[in-house]
């Protein structure tokens, strides 16, 4: 009973945090005491939600009890994880910058506590900054069955495609980096995957010819970063083929009658490139 009484501000902060914490840790916390406030800070610092970590920082500066900030866990890149065999079994992924979710590769889906659109909303502001994977938790079949009942299911190739396009940072993933040249086994379904005209062009190029990275940029006019992102995205989705023997970069295509006509139509219809 001799605990110091919390300020209104601290309580207001905790109220906001409680909402977020509940989502993540599934615990209902009381918010009357200094002790509870310390607990809030502890949860907040551990959280994968940036907003929550920020609130925890504020709260800890408001209350007298010293709360040590948890050391930042080591992060790894989402692309390398998606390309690795660590996701052959269902796993929960916990990130620094976006909410946690589950990947169920055998069934080609992700399981989310929120809609896929909300995940996109979280990803967009990151730009090319990696979401920062900090933890990987295997999911038992029982837990998976539980999740199925309440979670929202989204397409895993859809997520992989997006991550490949957004987080490649100009670097080919290690595996495709070792391919002498590239081909594609099918067109990505541009009717459902977000894309730019450039992607349709690169896909068609690699369906009709094989090429190295340089050959691809020379043949399509795509920049190296665009080409790398596209190749990584196709690789993650399982559509990139290893081609032996480096194909020489395609010589600048002569403007045959047909090509000229096609170029004019594509410009007219707003299909840039």
Partner 1 sequence: MSNMTEVKIIFTGTMGAGKTTAINAISEIKTISTEAVATDETAQRKETTTVGMDYGEVTVDEGLVLRLYGTPGQRRFRHMWEILAKGALGFVILVDNARPAPLEDLSIYLDNFKNHIAASAAVIGVTRTDVSAQPDIDAYYQYLAEREEMHPVMTVDVRRREDVLMLLDSLLLSREFE
The contact set with partner 1 (CB under 8 A) reads: 186-187, 189-192, 197, 200-201, 203-205, 207-209, 219, 253, 258-259, 261-266, 268-271
Q: How far is the CB of 269 from partner 1 (least distance, A)?
A: 6
Q: Least separation, in Å, of the C-beta of 202 and partner 1?
A: 10
- Smallest gap from residue 167 Cβ to partner 1 (A): 24
Decide whether 74 or 268 has the Cβ nearer to partner 1: 268
Task: State the Cα–Cα distance between residues 205 and 220, nearest whole angstrom.
Answer: 7
Q: Name the minimum Å distance from CB 163 to partner 1.
A: 20
| Total Cβ atoms within 10 A of residue 174 | 10
* CB of 50 vs partner 1, minimal distance in Å: 35
Sign of CA dihedral 212, 129, 72, 117: negative
Closer CB to partner 1, 44 or 157, in the complex: 157
Q: How far is the CB of 179 from partner 1 (least distance, A)?
A: 20
Closer residue to partner 1 (CB): 59 or 159: 159
The whole-angstrom separation of Cα 212 and Cα 216 is 6
List the alpha helices (DSSP H) in the chain. 8-25, 34-46, 50-62, 78-83, 116-123, 141-150, 156-167, 174-177, 197-208, 213-220, 224-237, 257-268
- Sign of the Cα torsion 138, 144, 147, 148 reads positive
Q: Hey, how many other C-beta atoms are within 10 angstroms of the C-beta on 140? A: 10
**In b/e form, how buried is each residue of 183-219, taking b as 16+ CB within 10 angstroms?**
bbeeebeeeebebeebbbbbbebbeebbbbbbbbbbb
User: With respect to partner 1, which residue has the nearer C-beta, 67 or 237?
Assistant: 237
C-beta of 127 vs 270, nearer to partner 1: 270
């Amino acid at each position: 009973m001799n605990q110091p009484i919390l300020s209104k501000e601290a309580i207001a902060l905790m109220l906001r945090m409680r909402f977020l914490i509940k989502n993540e840790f599934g615990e209902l916390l009381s918010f009357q005491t200094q002790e509870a406030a310390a607990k809030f800070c502890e949860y907040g610092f551990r959280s994968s939600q940036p907003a929550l970590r920020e609130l925890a920082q504020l709260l800890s500066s408001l209350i007298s009890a010293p709360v040590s900030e948890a050391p930042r866990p080591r992060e790894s890149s989402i692309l390398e994880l998606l390309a690795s065999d660590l996701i052959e079994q269902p796993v929960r992924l916990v990130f620094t910058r976006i909410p946690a979710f589950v990947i169920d590769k055998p069934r080609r889906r992700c399981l989310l506590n929120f809609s896929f659109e909300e995940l996109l909303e979280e990803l967009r502001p990151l730009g090319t900054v990696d979401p920062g994977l900090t933890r990987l938790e295997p999911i038992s079949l029982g837990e998976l069955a539980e999740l199925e009942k309440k979670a929202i299911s989204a397409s895993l190739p859809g997520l992989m495609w997006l991550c490949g396009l957004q987080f490649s940072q100009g670097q080919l993933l290690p595996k495709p980096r070792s391919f002498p040249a590239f081909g594609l086994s099918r067109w990505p379904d541009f009717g459902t995957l977000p894309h730019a005209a450039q992607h349709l062009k690169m896909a068609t190029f690699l369906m009709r010819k094989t090429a190295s990275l340089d050959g691809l940029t020379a043949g399509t006019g795509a920049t190296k970063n665009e080409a790398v992102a596209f190749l990584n995205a196709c690789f993650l989705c399982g559509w990139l083929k290893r081609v032996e023997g480096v194909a020489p970069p395609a010589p600048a295509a002569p403007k045959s009658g047909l090509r000229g006509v096609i170029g004019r139509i594509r410009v007219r219809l707003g299909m840039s490139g």
